[in-house]
Amino acid sequence: MSARTKARKRALDLLYSADMRQVPVEQMLVVEAEKAASEPERAASWLYAREIIDGIVDHRAEIDELIETHSHGWTLERMPAVDRAILRIGVWEIIHNDAVPDPVAISEAVEAATVLSTDDSAGFVNGLLAAISHSKA
């Protein structure tokens, strides 16, 4: 597993945990930063995970609006929490991280949805992120 894939997983874990506990993700970020400081072997994945989380926090309203606009009848509240986290990461990478090609961001999100969410989630995530990718061009 690549360092970026591990970082996406860490970011996903943080977003999901904050959502389920109904606490600000920034609060979870403080705890995770302390853990990362004591585990130097995880430094490579932590840096990108932090970049993802910071980017989502900075652009949350825009990211959520794009998700709702392209989800055709699904509000964020109706989506499984893990799907919300996966989509937020994917949208941030597509819109705000030029270092990650859109197909890679979409593929990573679909893989996460396949492994971690419902049977229908991978197709939903794929379609939604592809639509967002196409709309930015």
Give the pLDDT score at 95.
97
Kindly give the interhelix angle for 3-21 and 81-96, rounded to the nearest 10 degrees: 130
Interval 63-81: pLDDT, tens? 999 999 999 888 999 999 9
The predicted structure's pLDDT at residue 137: 63
Helical packing angle, 102-116 and 3-21, nearest 10°: 60
Q: How far apart are CA 5 and CA 126, in angstroms?
A: 17
Let me know: does 49 contact 28? Beta carbons within 8 Å: no
> What's the structural domain count of the chain?
1
The domain containing residue 43 runs over which residues? 3-136
CATH number of residue 21's parent domain: 1.10.940.10
Q: Give the pLDDT confidence of 14-70 residue by residue, as tens digits.
A: 999 999 999 999 888 888 877 777 777 777 778 899 999 999 999 999 999 999 999
The answer to whether 12 and 5 have CB atoms below 8 angstroms apart is no
